[in-house]
C-alpha cells in the first residue's frame, strides 16, 4: 500500500493563472511534488467556478485548458501529480451532500473570505446557494483524497478550518473515517496574499489586476510600468517611501538577492533613485522568472490533445480514490444498505 502523505489543492477555471497563484501556491506544489515524498492531486475546480458563473459555462470550458497549461508550464508533471477535473468526479457532490448536514448556516455566514467575495461580487441580494456553500464542497474535495496537506494562499485558510471542523464532527459522530488536513502557506508574508498591480486588493482573476503567467514579455513590461509607486516621489532626488509601494512589494516577493534589494530600498528612501530604474529592475526579474514558463507552455499548446488526455487519465485515477472514500463514508454513516448485487437475481443483501 502507498503510505505517502497526500496533497490536494486546486484552482477555479475562471481565467488564466497569475503571479499570485505562482508565489501563493504553485511554487509550493512543485517543490512538494519534486521531493517524491507525497502523492499530489491537483484539481481544476470547474464545479466551484460554476457557483458564481452559472450563466457563463463557456468561460469555464475555455479556462480549464488554460489553467491546465499553466500547471504544466510551471512544472507540475502528470507522472508525479494527478491533475483532474472536479466535474468528472460526481462522488464529490455526494460527499458534499452528507457534509452539509454537519455545518450551520451561521457558521457559513461567518467565513471571512466568502463574506468578502459576496461583497466584491455584489451578491448581497442574489447570493447563489451553491456559492454560499462552496466551503463545504471544498471539504469534500480535500477529504475525498485523504489529503493531509493543502498548499494554498492565505484567503483559503477559512476553508481549511471549515474542512477540519467537518472532519472532526464527522469522525466523532460516525467513527474515525476522514483525515484532518493542514494548510501549507508560503514562508513570505507577501506571497501569502500578493496584491494586484493596482496595489489594492489581492491579485485575482476576477478583479483583472493580475500579471498572468502566460502574458507575453511586452504585456508584462507594460503592466510593470503602469504600477503605482510613492505618489510623493516626484523628482528622482526626492526621498521615497518603500512601504505601500507596489513595485517594492513585488521586489520583496520576487527578488532573491536581499542584499541588493536592501541597498535599493535605502537608496530610494534617501532619494536619488528613480521609479523607472526600480521598475526596470523588477521587470528584468519577472521576465527571467516567466521566460522558461512561457516556453514550456508554448510546447504544450502545440499538443492540446495530449493536455486533454492528461486531464482524462487524471480524472479516472482520481475518481477511483474518491469512490473508495465515499464508500467508507456511506458505511460509516450506516446507509450502505445493500451490497453491490442489488437488483441481481439473488436480490440485495443487507451488509
Which residue number, 111 or 273, has a Cβ lying nearer to ligand ATP? 111
Place of cell 483525515: 179
Which residue number, 120 or 327, has a Cβ lying nearer to ligand ATP? 120
Which residue number, 169 or 206, has a Cβ lying nearer to ligand ATP? 206
Cβ atoms of 273 and 264 closer than 8 Å: yes
Interacting residues of 249 by C-beta distance below 8 A, sequence separation 6+: 190, 194, 195, 199
Site for ligand ATP in 144-173 (CB under 6 A): 152-153, 155-156
Q: What span, in angstroms and rounded, lies between the C-alpha atoms of 278 and 273?
A: 8
Cβ atoms of 285 and 261 closer than 8 Å: no
Which residue number, 23 or 332, has a Cβ lying nearer to ligand ATP? 23
Q: Taking the complex as a whole, how short is the minimal distance between the CB of residue 191 and ligand ATP, in angstroms?
A: 6
* Contact letters for ligand ATP, residues 217-256 (x by CB under 6 A): ----------------------------------------
Q: What span, in angstroms and rounded, lies between the C-alpha atoms of 51 and 55?
A: 10
User: Among residues 41, 75, 53, which one has the least CA distance to residue 151?
Assistant: 41
Q: Taking the complex as a whole, how short is the minimal distance between the CB of residue 113 and ligand ATP, in angstroms?
A: 9
Q: Taking the complex as a whole, how short is the minimal distance between the CB of residue 249 and ligand ATP, in angstroms?
A: 11
User: Among residues 273, 220, 228, 223, which one has the least CA distance to residue 246?
Assistant: 228
Cβ atoms of 336 and 330 closer than 8 Å: yes
Which residue number, 12 or 148, has a Cβ lying nearer to ligand ATP? 12
For residue 97, report the phi and psi dihedrals to the nearest 5 degrees.
-55, -45
Q: Taking the complex as a whole, how short is the minimal distance between the CB of residue 131 and ligand ATP, in angstroms?
A: 11
A 10 A CB-CB count for 270 gives: 11
Q: Taking the complex as a whole, how short is the minimal distance between the CB of residue 206 and ligand ATP, in angstroms?
A: 3
Which residue number, 202 or 297, has a Cβ lying nearer to ligand ATP? 202
Which residue number, 205 or 297, has a Cβ lying nearer to ligand ATP? 205
The answer to whether residue 137 forms part of the interface with ligand ATP (CB under 6 A) is: no
Which residue number, 160 or 166, has a Cβ lying nearer to ligand ATP? 160
Q: What span, in angstroms and rounded, lies between the C-alpha atoms of 314 and 289?
A: 28
Length of the chain: 351
* Contact letters for ligand ATP, residues 174-213 (x by CB under 6 A): -------------------xx-------xxxxx-------
Question: What distances in angstroms separate CA 299 from CA 44, 49, 220, 287, one per listed residue?
Answer: 21, 27, 20, 18
Site for ligand ATP in 17-76 (CB under 6 A): 20-21, 24-25
* SS3 sequence of 26-47: HHHHHHHHHHCCEEEEEEECHH
Q: Taking the complex as a whole, how short is the minimal distance between the CB of residue 245 and ligand ATP, in angstroms?
A: 17
Q: Taking the complex as a whole, how short is the minimal distance between the CB of residue 337 and ligand ATP, in angstroms?
A: 38
Size of the site for ligand ATP (CB under 6 A): 18
Q: Taking the complex as a whole, how short is the minimal distance between the CB of residue 79 and ligand ATP, in angstroms?
A: 23
Which residue(s) pair with 10 in the sheet?
Answer: 43
Which residue number, 141 or 275, has a Cβ lying nearer to ligand ATP? 141
Q: Taking the complex as a whole, how short is the minimal distance between the CB of residue 316 and ligand ATP, in angstroms?
A: 23
CB-count burial class (<10 Å; 0-12, 13-18, 19+) for 119: exposed
- Which residues of the shown chain bind ligand ATP in the complex (CB under 6 A)? 11-12, 14, 20-21, 24-25, 152-153, 155-156, 193-194, 202-206
Amino acid at each position: 500500500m502507498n503510505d505517502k502523505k497526500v496533497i490536494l489543492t486546486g484552482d477555479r477555471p475562471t481565467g488564466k493563472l497569475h503571479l499570485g497563484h505562482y508565489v501563493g501556491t504553485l511554487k509550493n506544489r512543485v517543490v512538494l511534488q519534486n521531493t517524491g515524498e507525497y502523492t499530489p492531486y491537483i484539481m481544476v475546480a470547474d464545479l466551484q467556478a460554476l457557483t458564481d458563473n452559472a450563466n457563463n459555462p463557456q468561460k469555464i470550458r475555455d479556462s480549464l485548458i488554460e489553467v491546465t497549461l499553466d500547471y504544466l508550464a510551471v512544472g507540475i508533471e502528470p507522472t508525479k501529480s494527478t491533475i483532474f477535473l472536479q466535474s468528472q468526479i460526481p462522488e464529490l457532490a455526494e460527499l458534499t451532500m452528507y457534509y452539509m448536514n454537519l455545518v450551520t448556516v451561521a457558521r457559513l455566514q461567518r467565513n471571512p473570505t466568502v463574506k468578502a467575495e459576496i461583497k466584491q461580487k455584489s451578491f448581497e441580494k442574489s447570493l447563489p446557494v451553491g456559492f454560499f456553500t462552496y466551503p463545504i464542497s471544498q471539504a469534500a474535495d480535500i477529504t475525498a483524497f485523504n489529503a493531509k496537506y493543502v498548499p494554498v494562499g492565505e484567503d483559503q485558510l477559512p476553508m481549511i478550518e471549515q474542512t477540519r471542523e467537518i472532519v472532526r464532527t464527522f469522525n466523532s459522530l460516525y467513527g474515525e473515517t476522514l483525515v484532518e488536513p493542514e494548510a501549507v502557506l508560503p514562508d513570505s508574508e507577501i506571497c501569502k496574499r500578493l496584491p494586484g498591480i493596482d496595489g489594492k486588493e489581492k491579485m485575482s482573476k476576477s478583479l483583472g489586476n493580475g500579471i498572468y503567467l502566460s502574458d507575453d514579455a511586452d504585456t508584462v513590461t507594460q503592466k510593470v510600468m503602469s504600477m503605482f509607486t510613492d505618489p510623493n516621489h516626484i523628482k528622482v532626488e526626492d526621498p521615497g517611501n518603500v512601504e505601500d509601494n507596489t513595485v517594492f512589494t513585488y521586489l520583496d516577493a520576487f527578488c532573491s538577492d536581499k542584499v541588493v534589494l536592501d541597498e535599493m530600498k535605502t537608496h530610494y528612501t534617501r532619494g536619488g533613485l528613480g521609479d523607472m530604474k526600480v521598475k526596470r529592475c523588477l521587470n528584468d526579474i519577472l521576465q527571467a522568472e516567466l521566460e522558461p514558463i512561457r516556453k514550456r507552455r508554448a510546447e504544450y499548446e502545440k499538443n492540446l490533445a495530449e493536455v486533454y488526455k492528461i486531464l482524462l487519465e487524471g480524472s479516472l485515477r482520481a475518481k477511483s480514490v474518491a469512490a473508495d472514500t465515499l464508500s467508507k463514508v456511506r458505511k460509516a454513516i450506516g446507509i450502505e444498505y445493500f451490497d453491490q448485487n442489488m437488483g441481481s437475481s439473488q436480490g440485495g443483501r443487507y451488509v
